[in-house]
Structure 1
Amino acid sequence: MTVYPSFLDALALIAFGGLAGFINVLSAGGSMLTLPLLMFLGLPPQAANATNRVSIVFQSISAVGNFRRAGASQVGLSLRLAVPAVAGSMFGVWLALLVSDALFEAVLVTVMAASALMMLLPQPALETRSLTRERLTPVVYLAMFAIGVYGGFIQVGVGVLFIVVLYRLLKIDLTQVNVFKVFIILIYTLPALAMFVYHDQVRWSYGLLLAVGSMSGAWLAVKVNMGPRGALWVRWLTLVMIAAIIVRLVMS
């Protein structure tokens, strides 16, 4: 199905895409802005959920490329973590294609509220260390599978789950968490997007405009990737916008 946004809608897609790309790399929660935006612009919930993945793929490509050029690359370990996430994402997409629009909207409001609450929790000051292959236990792989299921289903707030697993469980510093996060998300989102394309749920004109903004935002975020202090104001800005969007979703 070919659907084209108006000029003002196109500007909104680029602007929100840029903000989401910046937020997703530095912190978490970008999809909590872009997914509702696509719905507000008239896309059905399932199509909005699928179309949002176009932006996720392109911003992740931008972020991974820039991280590698900056010397922050963990390809081998990232691939090991991505394998169970890919398997989980396939199951998550299958679930997403089964649920009704009404149920999806209810889930969206619930996970946005839950993710916002998790973002409010203070990050404990942990003694961090580098990730090695020996530290990748079955529990870690199971957690990556669960994140993949969630990301394949809805994606919203998935960065919060990566912070819980990689920072709190594995005690990797938050700057490195961002490096692993964008690589793993790229790997599991590619097959998830392919499944949505196969089921004709992607609205490319919307997704590509969102991607233009998100790639720019991701590029800028890599330049200022400074861990918890650098991302603090981003978190609060995101929370304010999320609160406004939840109110709009509930009242619509």
Structure 2
Amino acid sequence: MTDFILLILAGLGAGIINALAGGGTFLTFPALVFIGLPPVVANATSAVAVFPGYLAAAAGFRAEIGAIKRHDLIKASVVALAGGLAGAGLLLVSSNEVFSLVVPFLLLIATVIFAFQKQIQVALRDSRLKATPYGSVGLFLVSVYGGYFNGGLGIVLLALFALWGMQSLNQMNGLKNAMSFVISAISVAAFALAGIVEWREAAIMAVAAVAGGFIGAKLARILPDIVIRGGIIAIGLSMSVVFFARM
């Protein structure tokens, strides 16, 4: 019963956090490890658990997503699918030790990029290096990360969108949830075929994550940007510390 309650709370919280900013796997992944799943299996199960919540959250931002050109959305979705598949393949051949070693560095880098996004945007404008809006290279690399480790995917996507020059946080959140759904769809399929998903735990969390996704989408329209951004940075830094401590 204790495990059941923990899974419900982690799933609900993950759905809310993913809709607001990203980083919901910071709750589901540790919860699954806590109840005894190996890290790689816990990561695959966590990806399945938060997968439906992304769709629920994206639905809450359908107006913002609809404002994006259809061509750009289709292009981004195809690139995200390719990257997600590549990342899932990397996870399937990774050991638990390698996985645990790489994750904290990826989380910390993503959080720092998001925290200093304005300074980075200015630096990019003043240099020869430019981040092309809806560019394939950056999105592919981020999608590989998402397929490999879903934790912090939203933060990494938001950092990428900031480098693209996007200004509306609600539109960034909408596109983030849409791309997270696409990336997770292909990686979840790969994990399921490989047989590394614990379906009972995933199902419990998934139901809670869907409810959390709807709640989070509504909260995103109420909370000030500074609160959401501060929450993203706090979550990213906190989980980076946790994962570094586990090394």
TM-score by length of 1: 0.81
**TM-superposed deviation, 1:230:** 4.2
Does 2:2 match 1:8? yes
**Gap regions ≥5 residues in structure 2:** 123-130
Match of 1:173 in 2: 168
Moved over 6 A (4+): none
**Cα distance in 1, alignment partners of residues 133 and 216 from structure 2:** 32
Does 2:69 match 1:72? no
Q: Which of 158, 165, 173 is residue 163 of structure 1 equivalent to?
A: 158
The alignment of Structure 1 onto Structure 2 pairs a total of residues equal to 233
Q: Which of 226, 229, 232 is residue 226 of structure 2 equivalent to?
A: 229
Q: Which of 118, 141, 149 is residue 146 of structure 1 equivalent to?
A: 141
Please tell me the residue identity of whatever aligns with 2:64.
A
Root mean square deviation of aligned Cα: 2.6
Does 2:121 match 1:124? no
Contact 2:111 2:155 in 1 (8 A): no
**Gap regions ≥5 residues in structure 1:** 1-6, 128-135
Contact 1:78 1:184 in 2 (8 A): no
Identical residues among aligned pairs (%): 26
**TM-superposed deviation, 1:88:** 1.0
Please tell me the residue identity of whatever aligns with 2:83.
G
**Cα distance in 1, alignment partners of residues 64 and 25 from structure 2:** 24
Please tell me the residue identity of whatever aligns with 1:211.
A
**TM-superposed deviation, 1:84:** 0.7
**Cα distance in 2, alignment partners of residues 45 and 8 from structure 1:** 20
Contact 2:84 2:145 in 1 (8 A): yes
**Cα distance in 2, alignment partners of residues 112 and 167 from structure 1:** 17
**Cα distance in 2, alignment partners of residues 184 and 30 from structure 1:** 15
**Cα distance in 2, alignment partners of residues 123 and 148 from structure 1:** 19
Does 2:57 match 1:50? no
Match of 1:34 in 2: 28
Does 2:182 match 1:190? no
Contact 1:33 1:245 in 2 (8 A): no
**Cα distance in 2, alignment partners of residues 117 and 89 from structure 1:** 23
Match of 2:128 in 1: none
Please tell me the residue identity of whatever aligns with 1:30.
G
Does 2:82 match 1:87? yes
Please tell me the residue identity of whatever aligns with 1:167.
A
